[in-house]
Structure 1
Amino acid sequence: MNKVIMHVDMDAFFASVEIVDNKNLRGKPVIIGGNSNRGVVATCSYEARAYGVRSAMPIYMAKEKCPNAIILPVRYGRYKEISNKIFNIFYEITPYVEPLSIDEAYLDITDINKRPLDMANFVKNRVRKETGLTISAGLSYNKFLAKLASDWNKPNGLKIIGKDEVPKILFPLSIDKVHGLGKKSAKKLNNIGVYTIEELYKLPQDLLVEFFGKFGIDIYDRIRGIDKREVQILRERKSIGRETTLSNDTNDKEELKLYIKAFAGSIADTLENKNVKGKNITIKTKTSSFVNHTKSKTLSYYISNEEDIYREACSILEELEFEEKIRLIGISISAFKEDKVEQLSFF
């Protein structure tokens, strides 16, 4: 029996929540992000996207592209409140829900004795009725194709991709539609004249493995409609981190340590709440020319308190050599284990 996977994606989620809360914003280019020119776009309405505004774009650049944009600060608490309502609807249908983010999830509806199309419409209508928001849904027999389907005709889209349509339905699409192929990988393929999935389909598996290692096999399979990944009910959080865009670019490490100190305290609180420790510390920086850098350190022991996190992060910072000033600084911790109280043995 074939699986039935639904992928759901809330349309321009943060911006859509703001528009529902304030009807005067309807039909206008709305950008959610930092208040200053040094901030970045978290998301934006489709009206703003028509001007070329995109997520992660610097605010000053977004303003240049869309001078009449309405820029609002992020209200994460409000978005989380609405997200919880929507996810509760998902869980009414099936316990097999894999959250990908605050506004995106996979649902395995294989064992539900109803037409998949009816289930997708039910979800869309319930979300619209209870929150005023639209979501896009994709249905297929695996995760890769379901996600592809949900993105097919956004916003408020609904698409089914059946086995008999694969692989031909994929051929006209750009290779950046293949899950897991990032910008660097796509560029690597562009350099050998591969831009569409049809062109990618013609490449032998051995070449893809040579290019991408074991992941090359996944790429080869996915564009042929093969994706054996299961919907994971519990997704392990891989890292906990904090970052900020600085008010002014700097390469003063003592100034950067002040931010690290604040981040260490916040991360320590989160670790305590989750009852976990970690042993991999990463420093992230973004230069004045918007180039990202990361440097990590794996410890031989686990840490969770503010002082240890601060000390190890500062030791990484001291090793960095800045060729230009920094506009963003962040730290994260990963490689977790549960913080259990160990009972001492007499032996």
Structure 2
Amino acid sequence: MTTLPRRIAHLDMDAFYASVELLRYPQLRGLPVVIGGRSDHKPVMQTDGSLRFSRLRDYVGRGVVTTSTYEARALGVFSAMGMMKAAQLAPDAILLPADFEAYRHYSHLFKAAVASITPQIEDTGIDEIYIDLSLLPEDSLTLAKRIKQAVFVATGLTCSIAITPNKLLSKICSDLEKPDGITLLEMADIPRRIWPLPVRKISGIGPKTEKKLISLGIETIAELAQAKLGFLQTHFGRNYSIWLHEASRGIDQRPVITCSEPKSISRETTFERNLHPRIDRAALSEALTHLCKKIAQDLQRKGYVGRTIGIKLRFEDFRTVTRDTTLATYIADDISIRRAARECLRRVPIEKKLRLLGIRVSTLSSPHSLPQISDSTQGELPFELHEQN
């Protein structure tokens, strides 16, 4: 019996959040647009019927860029950059708040479009998926064009897709021809297409590893591929060295996992200013309530209940503290989540101002597999803090 060669695709939506916003505001096409900040940056309808958009130079706070259009990226503005720094680089860029409900909607649309062609999909994020195309009869270029067309018809958005023998190579290659690109690669193409790239292009090599590799004289994937395994093992752990050795040669046997269960569902918010535990109690309570409601909605939408509730606190000095509690029964409603989160808060001495609050629900299960879900209590639960004597 002949084994068919593996054909694994990685599909990545182009500047996804920004592209969704441009569907809503087509007059902004071709302009530098930055997504992030507060909801009060929404466009304002003027008396003449036109929209007035906020500019990045008007932003005051310490939020971070969620994403940006390619025009803004050309000015040096990228995701996870501080908004104030971005304002220095592109003060005239249009500023829009993130609308995650809309992004989730379009995420569902593009994944459903691909699923109509093949169900062999691994969902890895709101804007990207892996697809196993090994059993489909069409050639790779035809499939890539067919998938891209289906996504565009369903969403009006473009995507970039790479088809290679494995996930590692496809992840690298989907970024090579952005936006709206197609990349096809075989193992024989690795020396020409992959080896000249910097080592950070390999998913799994982070900033710290990249810095260490560069200090060892290894900057490109080719130089990593030429490094002796024994040399790598003197500087990295055995298993990680083996992975580096294989990844640089494009070796990756991981399957496309079509059924995966999330380990946790979380939400967090970074405050525009540091909040005092007593003076800003009302604002903290409101933030806690909002996060718990959002997580409850996430649980309902994804069809899960959870038993372990955790909190994450980041103080003004950037010290981060986490606490969690495991309940006797599974819950999914915001009031029960908030009650458990409050119990976790009581275990943390909060004496400094807070810059971030996060809530996480883990130990997830499907409610259909449980005999009963705990009843929720009624009433508002305040943001209570452990007072020091």
TM-score (structure 1 length as normaliser) = 0.85
Out of 340, 356, 360, which is 1:332 matched to? 360
The residue that corresponds to 1:9 in the other structure is: 12
Conserved 8 A contact 1:42-1:56: yes
Q: Find the structure with the greater CA-based Rg.
A: 2
Out of 20, 23, 27, which is 1:20 matched to? 23
2: CA distance between counterparts of 1:294 and 1:312? 16
Aligned letter for 1:278? G
Higher mean alpha-carbon deviation, 52-61 vs 2-11, is at 52-61
Q: In the alignment, is residue 37 of structure 1 matched against residue 40 of structure 2?
A: no
Q: What runs of 5+ residues in structure 1 fail to find an aligned partner?
A: none
Aligned letter for 1:100? T
Structure 1, residues 195-249: CA drift from partner, whole Å, max 9, x if none? Answer: 2222322141673496246344333222212111111112322221121222421
2: CA distance between counterparts of 1:188 and 1:55? 24
Structure-2 change in CA distance of 1:264 and 1:277 (3 Å): same
2: CA distance between counterparts of 1:212 and 1:312? 39
Aligned letter for 2:355? R
Aligned letter for 1:60? M
Higher mean alpha-carbon deviation, 40-49 vs 325-334, is at 325-334
Aligned positions of 1:83-162 closer than 5 A: 83-162=107-186
The residue that corresponds to 1:178 in the other structure is: 202
Conserved 8 A contact 1:280-1:296: no
Aligned positions of 1:248-267 closer than 5 A: 248-252=273-277, 255=281, 256=284, 258-267=286-295
1: CA distance between counterparts of 2:319 and 2:7? 39
Conserved 8 A contact 2:13-2:128: yes
Aligned letter for 1:185? T
Name the SS for the 1:211 alignment partner: coil
The residue that corresponds to 1:299 in the other structure is: 326
Conserved 8 A contact 1:205-1:217: no
Conserved 8 A contact 1:175-1:196: yes
Conserved 8 A contact 2:122-2:129: yes
2: CA distance between counterparts of 1:146 and 1:230? 13
Name the SS for the 1:47 alignment partner: helix
Name the SS for the 2:219 alignment partner: coil
Root mean square deviation of aligned Cα: 3.0
Query: What count of residue pairs does the alignment treat as equivalent?
Result: 342
1: CA distance between counterparts of 2:155 and 2:371? 46
The residue that corresponds to 2:266 in the other structure is: 241
Out of 219, 225, 229, which is 1:204 matched to? 229
2: CA distance between counterparts of 1:258 and 1:24? 36
1: CA distance between counterparts of 2:35 and 2:301? 29
TM-score (structure 2 length as normaliser) = 0.77
2: CA distance between counterparts of 1:98 and 1:317? 36
Conserved 8 A contact 1:282-1:294: no
1: CA distance between counterparts of 2:176 and 2:242? 25
Identity across the alignment (%): 36
2: CA distance between counterparts of 1:132 and 1:308? 40
2: CA distance between counterparts of 1:262 and 1:22? 28
